[in-house]
Structure 1
Amino acid sequence: MSHAAVESRSYFPARELKAGARILKRLPDDVEERPYTLFKVKPLGPIIGAEIEGVDLGGELTPEVKAELHRAFLEWKVLFFRNQSLTSGQQLQFARQWGELEKHPFLPRGSSEEVTRFEKNANMTGNENVWHTDVTWRLEPALGSVLRLSEVPPLGGDTLWADMAAAYDNLPEEVKRQLDGLTAVHDFTSAFSRFLSPEQLKAKQEEFPAAEHPVVRTHPETGRKTLFVNAAFTVRIAGLEAEESEKLLAYLFRQAHIPEYQVRFHWEPNSVAFWDNRATQHYAVSDYFPNRRVAERISIAGDRPY
């Protein structure tokens, strides 16, 4: 595709506002609905988010339970578990069943290098209240994450997730055609540079150079097309002039804000969320200060988007 051809595109429908019914598919077109037989699934919305009842995450999962949980993970995109009195070690053991774990180079660590610990209060307020997909600045962004809250505020502190396959499904067909083949640049600098000295920043930029990913990725397990740009880490569309790139990204970022694509989870002590980072964005609501909110997150290494 020539640079001139990219520049000449018009990315926006005549009317961005869309009222009425939306396309809300939970499953790929070639997948049939099947019951879950080894635990109870309580949907929190029609397409994304379900509470799982009857599974002890601190125990040994049988291959059958693990396989059915993985199917639920793919179909619901974020799973919630309540009343899970886990140690960090047990949380690590659960996450490892889905693959190799990754270490976050910028966030505070917990009991081991693979555990990220968030202790939020009036002196350390939350910065995660922007729609984002984790670590898309990596060449191989995380497959998913397991987040456990040990302390919750009396009010507030919810987390929202958005289904980015639904966001893609509902783009106008002309926009889908125009996004085909485009890539975007993802960079950690704007999010984390304020925590680093100039020397540290330079070293980290050499260790984690900006990554280029497709604007629309194909989920490696479900095959669904998923909008894969986010406001925290996506800095520009490759091959576009700066103004056109900014306009396009602003339009695409807004798709995560549509309530029909979202689920909102209210935390209780010892609640756990396990989400598919390849298919979702999330937003941690920072409305609980000066109260405390303590969480530990473990992320599972992923693959390169295509």
Structure 2
Amino acid sequence: MPEAVRVEPIAGALGAEIGGVNLAGDLSNSDFDAIHDAFLKHHVIFFRDQHDLTPEAHKSFGQRFGSLNVHPYVSGMDAHPEIMEIIKEPEEKLNFGGGWHSDMSFLEKPALGSILHAIEVPPFGGDTLFANQVAAYEALSDGMKAMLDGMVAIHSASREYSARGHSAQARKSMDAQVADDAPEYEHPVVRTHPETGRKALYVNPAFTLRFKDMTKRESRPLLNFLFEHSRDERFTCRFRWSDGAVAFWDNRCVWHYALNDYHGHRRHMRRVTVNGDRPA
């Protein structure tokens, strides 16, 4: 690993802070390889004091990992549609991302990862929680693993982005569309990470509706068990934001949850999402 790049784990389950890196600069191949290795090993990585990360540089860093997504239901920046501005004004009650989920699992080819840059953070609160779905899968009994392997779940944005859905609610500084008729896609309940080969649970409370060939009522007991299991504290880490900080998480094996505990204060983040492949 290059001497300039420092990797310091922040928790036993997942998460590492990366030092000695300026994401707005020209990353050498060796620095990029070190970041990529840390990303695969720790599942979510953090960078402090990235104040020079312009929208152009933000996109450029994301493009090192793949093509960038334009969100189908939330408008991006006018000049940079690939960048979603996630803003909560002091008088607003609802935040965006305020529940456990995996970004974009409602797509046929869900996101590889998300890169979130803090532009303005509240004086307290607004932390983000992350949960390791590789660890969640590995902690299951052999019998449960055997049952889940080969099962398929149905994912859709129809609930979260419905007229009553949390993500589609009107916000002063964000433009989200209602998508009651959003398509449904089938994904394996246990997916194999395309780069590491490790198995991870791949269901989440926001976008997983039911199991294939089962009703919602039939699916609910097992889904509820998996949702509760997957967010167990032993699989989690917590990140305290600061102005200029960046978090990059692997949506193929990580859940996250943006805490909404800073009422009366403003929070402004910018997110780039890297396109992924079809889960297998």
TM-score, scaled relative to structure 1: 0.83
- In 1: Cα distance, 2:114 partner to 2:197 partner: 20
Q: CA RMSD in A?
A: 1.6
- In 1: Cα distance, 2:16 partner to 2:5 partner: 12
1:264 corresponds to 2:238: yes
Indicate which of 121, 136, 149 corresponds to 2:105.
136
> AA paired with 1:102?
N
1:103 corresponds to 2:92: no
* Residue 124 (structure 1) shift: 5.7
- In 1: Cα distance, 2:230 partner to 2:3 partner: 32
SS at match of 1:67: helix
Q: Match of 1:13?
A: none
- In 1: Cα distance, 2:240 partner to 2:2 partner: 24
SS at match of 2:23: coil
* Residue 201 (structure 1) shift: 5.4
Q: Match of 2:88?
A: 120
* Residue 265 (structure 1) shift: 0.2
Identity %: 41
- In 1: Cα distance, 2:63 partner to 2:144 partner: 39
Q: How far does the alpha carbon of each residue in 1:57-112 deviate from its partner, in whole angstroms, 9 at most, with x for none?
A: 00011111111111110000111000001111111111111110010021242241
SS at match of 2:115: strand
Moved more, 109-118 or 51-60: 109-118
Q: Match of 2:38?
A: 72
- In 2: Cα distance, 1:282 partner to 1:298 partner: 15
Q: How far does the alpha carbon of each residue in 1:136-187 deviate from its partner, in whole angstroms, 9 at most, with x for none?
A: 0100000001100111001100001100000000111111111111000001
SS at match of 1:143: strand
Q: Match of 1:153?
A: 122
Q: Match of 1:164?
A: 133
* Residue 119 (structure 1) shift: 1.0
> AA paired with 2:247?
A
Question: Which structure is larger by alpha-carbon Rg, 1 or 2?
Answer: 1
- Structure 2: stretches of 5+ with no match in the other structure: 170-176
1:185 corresponds to 2:151: no
Kept in 2, the 8 Å contact 1:48–1:262? The answer is yes
Kept in 2, the 8 Å contact 1:38–1:68? The answer is no
> AA paired with 1:96?
Q
Q: Match of 1:286?
A: 260
> AA paired with 1:72?
A
1:243 corresponds to 2:209: no
Kept in 2, the 8 Å contact 1:131–1:256? The answer is no
- In 1: Cα distance, 2:2 partner to 2:15 partner: 15
- In 2: Cα distance, 1:250 partner to 1:299 partner: 28
SS at match of 2:57: helix
Structure 1 ranges of 4+ moved more than 6 A = none
* Residue 257 (structure 1) shift: 2.0
* Residue 211 (structure 1) shift: 0.6
Q: How far does the alpha carbon of each residue in 1:198-245 deviate from its partner, in whole angstroms, 9 at most, with x for none?
A: xx757x84xx52110000000000011100000000000112243330
TM-score, scaled relative to structure 2: 0.91
